[in-house]
A and B are shown apart, each in its own frame.
Chain A
Amino acid sequence: MRIAVCVKHAVDETELKTDSAGNPQLKGAATKISTFDKNAVEEALRLKASHSGEVVIVTVGTPEAKKSMKEALAMGADRGVLVNADPMSMETRRTSELLAAAIRKGAPYDLVLCAEGSSDNYSCLVPPMLGEQLGLPYVGYARKIEVSGQSARVERALEDSVEVIEAPLPAVVSVVSEINEPRYPTLIQIMQAGKKPMEEVSPEAILPGLTAAPSFVRGMKAQAMARKRVVFEGPPDETAKKLLDALASEGVLPR
């Protein structure tokens, strides 16, 4: 089985700092492999283990994105393709167009796996856009994937229901984080990841004649949390009472 996994080198939202005016300090911000991408890589590795084949990491990112690609390679992926472009500067459709072009270039694939959404932006739009752009069957929010022959049986989780879908391969599938527990690469795998092939391509090379497609974000600001942050400490009988009194005075306890 040849599996392409889309990975994003994301801003680490837990480490992102804002200044006193609420403006984000994006320059030099800590980055990481987008949290749920590890689940997609893990699922690809499990399928590779049972069906043999190759797992290819596809990323749209700046040169820094090689760090995340290496992490995925350290987990066990075989090689990576980096499209040199900054996803934050472009609209989501362009990101998925570039991923689609890189995937077409490396075709054929039996399966394209993505996380349901990225941990920093969480638009959840790229996987279905990818399916549409590649003209492939698409199943979103998979919590279980079984492959037999040329078709996949996917259990997908919706808000109020669970569906079991049959999709002919090749297909695009996005996974939820509940699907698996990603493995830790061992130290030796970390050290050897750098030796695996990592190809870099320019957007123009895989998608000639591109016009500008800037992001629709006009500005970003921290939301003023404005929570009261009143903290009660002391013996539980006292603090329990204080809490209930405070909540009653807020009018949020049932009469």
Chain B
Amino acid sequence: MSIKVWAFSESASVANEVAAAASGIAQTSGGSFTVVGLDEGGSKLAGEDKLVLKAQAPLSASPEAAAAALALVAKESNPDVILVGSTRNGKEIASRLAVKLGRPCASDVFAVTLDGGFLRGKRNIFAGKLQADMALPLPCVAALKVGAYPVLPASPAKEVERAVGEVATKTRVIEKREKQRGTVDLKGAKLIVSAGRGVKKKEDLTLISDLAAALGGAVGCSRPLSSDMGWLPEEHHIGLTGVSVHPDLYLAVGISGQLQHVAGIKDSKVIAAINSDKSAPMFEASDYGVVGDLYAVIPAMLKELGGRHR
């Protein structure tokens, strides 16, 4: 049985991760995959088979419009599996497609395979405490966990354009502000030093940023520091409802280790923690831990690092 797979994301880099997944399952089933894009994004996409949907207004400006366009074309071509990158907009698009096309749907799925008439995969559940095995009967829509697949390079293949005519939306975008990217790219960071409530004052965050700088890493935080106290912008918040990271080293400083936070760091290669409370759950989730006062340990680390770089 030859399976048709679509790989889509409104973000080009995520689309190329989804393409990697689509490529994997298409190969094993002896089927094919099409990388679907919007507006002018064709050249950035990976894959040999590209399909770009266009309308009078940019489709990428609205997940509602994107979903309407995708549904229109999907009803014609009937792909067995529609894979969508599980970004915030991606989950909305996947949900809308599921209802419009009457298909089963799951989000943040990874390790996808085709098995009989099912798309099988895994997803984290209970804030990452457990992993669920999923089986979606075909035809289905699945939102793929971002960062779970390698990013395929853009291909020179020429895309097929499909005009979808006018797509009406119920809402209107009045304003769009890009967040300052600056030094914050936690998703791709290889080393992260992260602050929690053990840091007593906003001014003390310089300890964290100094250590991050000395190690060549990025700064992250647990939810209270961004949401409750506003010491750092939301983009630094790592956790279930924040950013999921997979650095080589994640150093949690003064973070107790609540499940919701740990959910965002599970894929780190090495996790280390500094906390004055020896019973903090963070130590259970770490490879290495220091029981101590961060206000003493970090200066000691900086001193030691200064010496090593001589």
Contact flag (A, B; Cβ within 8 A) = yes
Chain A, interface residues (CB within 8 Å), range: 35 or more
Stretch at the interface among A63-71, A79-87, A224-232: A224-232
Tell me the B289-310 residues at the A interface (CB within 8 Å): 289-293, 296-301, 303-305, 308
Question: Is B23 in the interface zone, CB < 8 Å from A?
Answer: no
CB neighbours (8 Å) of A168 from chain B are 170-171
Closest chain-B Cβ to A142's Cβ sits at a distance in Å of 11
Q: A36-B241, A166-B174, A178-B227 are in contact. Are A250 and B287 (CB under 8 A)?
A: yes
Q: How far is B63's CA from A165's CA once the two chains are assembled, in angstroms?
A: 12
Question: Is A190 in the interface zone, CB < 8 Å from B?
Answer: no
Q: Mark A153-182, 1 if CB is under 8 A from B, else 0.
A: 100011111111111100100001110010
Question: Is B234 in the interface zone, CB < 8 Å from A?
Answer: yes
Q: A119-B127, A236-B292, A237-B300 are in contact. Are A220 and B133 (CB under 8 A)?
A: yes
Find out whether the CB atom of A240 lies under 8 angstroms from the CB atom of B300: yes
Question: Is A19 in the interface zone, CB < 8 Å from B?
Answer: no
Chain A: CB-nearest residue to B259: A14
Question: Is B54 in the interface zone, CB < 8 Å from A?
Answer: no
Find out whether the CB atom of A162 lies under 8 angstroms from the CB atom of B96: no
Question: Is B204 in the interface zone, CB < 8 Å from A?
Answer: no
CB neighbours (8 Å) of B304 from chain A are 237, 240-241, 244
Find out whether the CB atom of A159 lies under 8 angstroms from the CB atom of B87: yes
Question: Is A219 in the interface zone, CB < 8 Å from B?
Answer: yes
Question: Is B199 in the interface zone, CB < 8 Å from A?
Answer: no
B-side interface mostly: mixed
CB neighbours (8 Å) of A207 from chain B are none
Find out whether the CB atom of B288 lies under 8 angstroms from the CB atom of A216: no
Question: Is A211 in the interface zone, CB < 8 Å from B?
Answer: no
Question: Is B201 in the interface zone, CB < 8 Å from A?
Answer: no
Q: A132-B96, A160-B181, A252-B191 are in contact. Are A228 and B288 (CB under 8 A)?
A: yes
Tell me the B230-285 residues at the A interface (CB within 8 Å): 234, 240-241, 243, 248-249, 258-260, 266, 269-272, 274, 278, 283-285
Which among B243, B270, B290 has the highest number of chain A CB atoms within 10 Å?
A: B290
Question: Is B179 in the interface zone, CB < 8 Å from A?
Answer: yes
Question: Is A107 in the interface zone, CB < 8 Å from B?
Answer: no
Chain A: CB-nearest residue to B98: A93
Question: Is A76 in the interface zone, CB < 8 Å from B?
Answer: no
CB neighbours (8 Å) of B215 from chain A are 253-254
Chain A: CB-nearest residue to B228: A181
Find out whether the CB atom of B283 lies under 8 angstroms from the CB atom of A247: no
Chain A: CB-nearest residue to B123: A123
Q: How far is B226's CA from A168's CA once the two chains are assembled, in angstroms?
A: 31
Find out whether the CB atom of A243 lies under 8 angstroms from the CB atom of B234: no
Q: A217-B132, A237-B300 are in contact. Are A229 and B95 (CB under 8 A)?
A: no
Which among B95, B292, B300 has the highest number of chain A CB atoms within 10 Å?
A: B95
Find out whether the CB atom of B293 lies under 8 angstroms from the CB atom of A220: no
Q: How far is B278's CA from A177's CA once the two chains are assembled, in angstroms?
A: 29
Question: Is A99 in the interface zone, CB < 8 Å from B?
Answer: no
Which listed residue, A18, A122, A225, A231, touches B240 by the CB 8 Å rule? A122
Which listed residue, B126, B216, B288, touches A16 by the CB 8 Å rule? B126
Q: A125-B94, A254-B216 are in contact. Are A218 and B134 (CB under 8 A)?
A: yes
CB neighbours (8 Å) of B129 from chain A are 13, 16, 18, 24, 222-223
Find out whether the CB atom of A125 lies under 8 angstroms from the CB atom of B135: no
Question: Is B91 in the interface zone, CB < 8 Å from A?
Answer: yes
Find out whether the CB atom of B288 lies under 8 angstroms from the CB atom of A246: yes
Q: A14-B258, A138-B92 are in contact. Are A93 and B132 (CB under 8 A)?
A: no
Question: Is B105 in the interface zone, CB < 8 Å from A?
Answer: yes
Find out whether the CB atom of B173 lies under 8 angstroms from the CB atom of A132: no
CB neighbours (8 Å) of B290 from chain A are 231-233, 239-240, 242-243
Find out whether the CB atom of B297 lies under 8 angstroms from the CB atom of A240: yes
Question: Is B157 in the interface zone, CB < 8 Å from A?
Answer: no
Question: Is A117 in the interface zone, CB < 8 Å from B?
Answer: yes
Find out whether the CB atom of B241 lies under 8 angstroms from the CB atom of A93: no
Question: Is B89 in the interface zone, CB < 8 Å from A?
Answer: yes
CB neighbours (8 Å) of B96 from chain A are 128-129, 131-132
25 chain-A/chain-B pairs, Cβ below 8 angstroms = A13-B126, A14-B258, A120-B125, A124-B91, A125-B106, A126-B95, A128-B95, A131-B96, A138-B171, A140-B92, A164-B174, A166-B174, A167-B172, A216-B135, A217-B132, A221-B131, A227-B285, A231-B290, A232-B291, A233-B278, A237-B300, A240-B297, A240-B300, A243-B272, A252-B249
Top 6 closest A-B pairs, CB basis?
Answer: A240-B300, A137-B170, A128-B95, A252-B249, A236-B296, A164-B175
Binding site for B on A (CB under 8 A): 11, 13-14, 16, 18, 24, 36, 91-93, 116-117, 119-129, 131-133, 136-141, 153, 157-168, 171, 176-178, 181, 216-223, 225, 227-234, 236-237, 239-244, 246-247, 250-254
Given contacts A160-B178, A220-B130, A246-B272, 19 further A-B contacts (CB under 8 A): A11-B126, A24-B126, A93-B105, A119-B127, A123-B106, A129-B95, A140-B92, A159-B88, A162-B176, A162-B179, A163-B173, A163-B176, A166-B171, A217-B132, A219-B133, A229-B287, A232-B290, A233-B290, A241-B304
